[in-house]
Structure 1
Amino acid sequence: MAAGRNYPIQIKTKGMKSIVYYLIAAAFILASCESEELQEKPPNIVLFLVDDMGWQDTSVPFWKERTPFNDRYHTPNMERLAVAGMKFTQAYATHVCSPSRVSLMTGMNAARHRVTNWTLKKDSLQPMEKDHDSLEFPMWNVNGMSPFAGDSLAVHAMPLPQALHDVGYYTVHSGKAHLGAIGTPGADPLNLGFDVNIAGHAAGAPASYLGTENFGNGEGQNEFAAVPGLEKYYGRDIFLTEAITEEALRALDSVVTIAQPFFLYMSHYAVHTPIMADERFVQKYYEKGLDSIEARYASLVEGMDKSLGDIMDYMEQKNIADNTIILFMSDNGGLSAHGRGGALNTHNKPLASGKGSMYEGGIREPMLVKWPDKTEPGSVSKYQVIIEDFYPTILKMAGIDSLQTLQKVDGQSFTAALTGEKEYAGVRPLFWHYPNEWGVEGPGIGAASAVRKGDWKFIYFHASRKMELYNLAADIGETTNLFEEDSEKAKELAEVLSKHLKAVGAQMPIDKATGEKVEYPIELWEDDAE
């Protein structure tokens, strides 16, 4: 056992299969001899995560009606998954990547785990956070998550793959990790409970998607963003999305014919910048009249969708589709504030803004789940889900009803929604907290906190202390701020948000003008009362 770890049932040593696996595998083999029913084996689980994919970057509509963007993109395998499973129309992540990924891996809300911005350099704030004109930002957990107790500026928690590994799952990471800063234990997925790591490291974007460019490896390339571990594809005419999918499925070949269940975390670098053309698909988008950037972007989306189809085909070919759960999600809203073709901050309409923003365009995500014999094919749920909910949900899917974790798990299982036992009644609040700077200007971008409860959403901007209130059922585009019109509802949500931030010890920036921490929103009402 690695020094410093404190996992309740940790047995794994790097390069060895756990004793737990052998015991459980033996039980599975015995069960399979006694019965041919596939349900005797715990389900295989595929978590398919896309990077920077917007709510409408798909031909699957997630709103009450189709939008022009749904007609722009071609994602037949997402359509196929939607027909086979359940579509969630109100699913959320955070508005930048590392906070979502750490929440997914720990079940913790970002305000609690304090990995509130994207990670890269060890022990260092992001450059844009060091000289803000009005705010001094807190030293958040810039090193990401860690499997070791006592690591500085990192959250120590029981990772999701470790929990699954310790009950016998074969765990495969393929693609983007972005869970720990360069040179920290959390940067390597093998330290977080994965048996296999394909191409995952500290960086959040690839230097290149092209095998002909060695995915950015080589003299004069971006050493931080060069994708590791894919040397066999160097010089080949292959797209990164395809390469990591091929490697993921090859990794599963060793276990699909035996009793051991698997957890595949298919975590794509696509559709993150650099926006490069996937030549297999891009021509049709040029012919549609899209400008070159948007055509390349659409080809990235379709290449991602092909990966989903390849995985679904693999499960069917291996006769394991009926015992394989597939969850599809994005880590934040679609990029729109920079680097795109056409008018900025319009790529997620009718949602406002995009990646980096507290508005819906930055946090609302496409989400699909296929759970054979559990989800009704072609069903749609309005259940409100947030990224930390995946942790307890996946554990429950795997048959882990209780787990002694190091961390307080904020997420709530949505298995009852998947099985049709429960529909969201608008009681539970969802929280976002970002005491940081992303470095790009745009609507709703900047240090802020927010809460959604039922149809209502309240946003508090730290620098200006501006508060905004929206009824999303009536105004999904967040066009009309109801703060003045319904101040009592605003105060109610300000109190809910403030209580949460206080309860989890949320960090707040310091106002440079006063030298004091930015107030929790409810404190502004209290000050007015005085």
Structure 2
Amino acid sequence: MIKISNRIAILLFFFIAFISCKSDKKEEKAIKERPNIILFMVDDMGWQDTSVPFWKEKTALNNLYHTPNMERLAEQGMKFTQAYATAVCSPTRVSLMSGMNAARHRVTNWTLRRGISEVKPPKGLLMPEWNLNGIQPTDTIERSTHVTTLPQILKENGYLTIHTGKAHFGALDTPGENPINLGFDINIAGHAAGAPGSYYGVKGFKKDANKSSIWDVPGLEKYHHKDIFLSEALTQESILAMDKAIESEKPFYLYMAHYAVHTPIQGDSRYEQKYIDKGLNSIEAKYASMVEGMDKSLGDLMDYLDKKNIADNTIILFMSDNGGLSALARGGERHTHNKPLSSGKGSAHEGGIREPMLVKWPGKTKANSVTNDFVIIEDFFPTIIELAGIENYKTVQKVDGQSFASTLKGKDKNNNSRALFWHYPNNWGPTGPGIGASSTIRKGDWKLIYYHLDNHFELFNIANDIGETTNLAFKEKEKLKVLAIELSNYLRSVSAQMPIQTNTNKQVPWPDNQEVISNI
């Protein structure tokens, strides 16, 4: 009996080992078959900073810029005409990494030094205790948001995760300043700062070649003292990282987060002269050359995928983190660089939040297609996870984003009755149309902005007035009230922070406050 029992036990052991091995191989095969994913994020790129028209017609700005690789991507994939981010960088990047709306995650302004708000409040308002230390992989850092990040989920499901370029997720001297602590296997040039010291390799990508500063781009020493533009160096390093992923036989997620076209506006010598020859002033020629250098990077990555025969199994998503800079540092008239959109970076107007967005999903997305479906930056989180074929994932945070995978498959979602929300209880610094502490709702064709400083409203019909030239707040009072109630209910539901009015020492009232509404 003992011998028979031993024999059965041995057979049972080998049977279990066989089944387990078979299961492991099946899981390993499933992981290998997952698509590679490239998220190509541009910094401060406006809706019109491209030769790809995202409006109903091509404009003078579309004819000015030269972005042949964006055109190529649009021809191979889907163009989104109503894609939104937040008005400044850190809130967008935190929403991307967490799937949370900015009103919920409370990283509502740009971050840099631990415990320090880099911008003083405007006269009349005291900023709330927003999460100025950014996102963190732990709940032990003060004034920060603990999240399960997008790359961490991808990494746990077999992806090699690569971060290239601008991080700007967490403040200096916190774990979140290093992308490695947020789920990335490889970090190329990412740190706490949201802009480069310089775009020039000859200057070591430093603000001052003779001393260090918080703005100096880290980890690119091999390119120091070489005549190379930062966008090119980041692209070359990304290609080397993808080589490592291919060698590892893992699918990869490349977050290609360019510092371009953020200030300092410095010309890319490969393209600057052509724009001078077009008659642009010095600043705008430099800016346009930075746009084209960014586009060249996109083309180089697409060429790499073709060369390695992996283009058919690689999804590319193209997005910008906020609207194009227009309030300062540009050539020409302020607040006009995103026309027909009003204003630019830092503004609740369309010029500050509406972005160029393209997606190529081989075999799923119809080539040269266009959608008018609403998309907002937190939607990227659940969408990318779905594109990767990952199910049953868990997060410590509540995810607000909605997947747009069905839109990519050509299914009509009719989601434009869905409300989109923005919340910025902060001060950016410059002034201009739509710039200032505010809360915003877009629902259908209508958009309502509530300004915290003086409790006034702007109401626009975006379908009829994309340039936000006519404030309908006094003419369409009933529509305003309905939107104010929905905006307020949402803000209360996520415990959104509001500034304090210094003259009363009380919180700014919600948009649906009866006294506020009665003053319209």
Shorter-chain TM range is over 0.9
1:321 aligns with 2:311: yes
After TM superposition, the score normalised by the length of structure 1 is 0.92
Which deviates further from its counterpart, 516-525 or 237-246?
516-525
Residue 441 of structure 1 and its aligned partner are, at CA, apart by 1.0
Amino acid at match of 1:45: I
1:231–1:465 CA distance, 2 compared to 1 (3 A): same
Alignment of 1:284-323 (within 5 A): 284-323=274-313
1:216 aligns with 2:213: no
Residue 403 of structure 1 and its aligned partner are, at CA, apart by 1.6
Give the greater-gyration-radius structure (CA).
2
SS in structure 2 of the partner of residue 256 of structure 1: helix
SS in structure 2 of the partner of residue 255 of structure 1: helix
Residue 121 of structure 1 and its aligned partner are, at CA, apart by 1.3
1:111 aligns with 2:103: yes
Alignment of 1:98-497 (within 5 A): 98-129=90-121, 132-216=122-206, 220-221=210-211, 223-497=213-487
1:100–1:527 CA distance, 2 compared to 1 (3 A): closer
Measured in 1, the distance between the counterparts of 2:158 and 2:134 equals: 26
1:315–1:86 CA distance, 2 compared to 1 (3 A): same
Measured in 1, the distance between the counterparts of 2:516 and 2:453 equals: 19
Structure 1 stretches of 4+ with a deviation exceeding 3 A read: 22-31, 217-222, 524-529
The Cα offsets for residues 332-352 of structure 1, whole Å up to 9 and x where unpaired, read as 000000000001110011100
**Could you say which residue in structure 2 is the equivalent of 1:13?**
none
Measured in 1, the distance between the counterparts of 2:208 and 2:130 equals: 33
**Could you say which residue in structure 2 is the equivalent of 1:9?**
none
Amino acid at match of 2:124: S
**Could you say which residue in structure 1 is the equivalent of 2:59?**
67
RMSD in angstroms over aligned alpha carbons? 1.7
Which deviates further from its counterpart, 148-157 or 108-117?
148-157
**Could you say which residue in structure 2 is the equivalent of 1:36?**
none
1:339–1:524 CA distance, 2 compared to 1 (3 A): farther
Contact (CA 8 Å) 1:171, 1:194: kept in 2 or not?
Answer: yes
1:497–1:219 CA distance, 2 compared to 1 (3 A): same
Unaligned runs of 5+ in 1: 1-21, 32-38
Measured in 2, the distance between the counterparts of 1:322 and 1:101 equals: 28
Amino acid at match of 1:213: K
1:58 aligns with 2:78: no
Contact (CA 8 Å) 1:217, 1:227: kept in 2 or not?
Answer: no
Residue 289 of structure 1 and its aligned partner are, at CA, apart by 0.1
Residue 526 of structure 1 and its aligned partner are, at CA, apart by 7.4
Residue 82 of structure 1 and its aligned partner are, at CA, apart by 0.1
**Could you say which residue in structure 1 is the equivalent of 2:8?**
none
Contact (CA 8 Å) 2:374, 2:415: kept in 1 or not?
Answer: no
Residue 218 of structure 1 and its aligned partner are, at CA, apart by 6.0
**Could you say which residue in structure 2 is the equivalent of 1:3?**
none
SS in structure 1 of the partner of residue 417 of structure 2: coil
The Cα offsets for residues 480-513 of structure 1, whole Å up to 9 and x where unpaired, read as 1111111111111101110110000000000001
Amino acid at match of 2:261: V
Measured in 2, the distance between the counterparts of 1:290 and 1:512 equals: 45
SS in structure 2 of the partner of residue 491 of structure 1: helix
Measured in 2, the distance between the counterparts of 1:367 and 1:284 equals: 26
Amino acid at match of 1:393: T
The Cα offsets for residues 393-444 of structure 1, whole Å up to 9 and x where unpaired, read as 0000011133211000000000011101123342210000000000111111
Amino acid at match of 1:512: T
Unaligned runs of 5+ in 2: 1-20
Amino acid at match of 2:426: N
1:516 aligns with 2:506: yes
Measured in 1, the distance between the counterparts of 2:133 and 2:22 equals: 36
1:87 aligns with 2:79: yes
Measured in 2, the distance between the counterparts of 1:360 and 1:25 equals: 50
Residue 220 of structure 1 and its aligned partner are, at CA, apart by 4.3
Q: How many residues align?
A: 499
1:464–1:30 CA distance, 2 compared to 1 (3 A): closer
Residue 528 of structure 1 and its aligned partner are, at CA, apart by 3.7
The Cα offsets for residues 175-216 of structure 1, whole Å up to 9 and x where unpaired, read as 000001111111000000000000000000001000000000
The Cα offsets for residues 301-355 of structure 1, whole Å up to 9 and x where unpaired, read as 0000000000000001000000000000000000000000001110011100000
Amino acid at match of 1:395: I
Contact (CA 8 Å) 1:469, 1:483: kept in 2 or not?
Answer: yes
Measured in 2, the distance between the counterparts of 1:142 and 1:280 equals: 38
Contact (CA 8 Å) 1:125, 1:139: kept in 2 or not?
Answer: no
Residue 29 of structure 1 and its aligned partner are, at CA, apart by 6.2
Residue 368 of structure 1 and its aligned partner are, at CA, apart by 0.1
Measured in 2, the distance between the counterparts of 1:425 and 1:244 equals: 37
Measured in 2, the distance between the counterparts of 1:75 and 1:23 equals: 48
**Could you say which residue in structure 2 is the equivalent of 1:43?**
35
Amino acid at match of 1:44: N
SS in structure 2 of the partner of residue 451 of structure 1: strand
**Could you say which residue in structure 2 is the equivalent of 1:77?**
69
Amino acid at match of 2:140: G
1:465–1:191 CA distance, 2 compared to 1 (3 A): same
Contact (CA 8 Å) 2:322, 2:353: kept in 1 or not?
Answer: yes
Measured in 2, the distance between the counterparts of 1:24 and 1:383 equals: 40
Measured in 1, the distance between the counterparts of 2:114 and 2:190 equals: 17
Measured in 2, the distance between the counterparts of 1:26 and 1:202 equals: 40
Measured in 2, the distance between the counterparts of 1:403 and 1:231 equals: 38
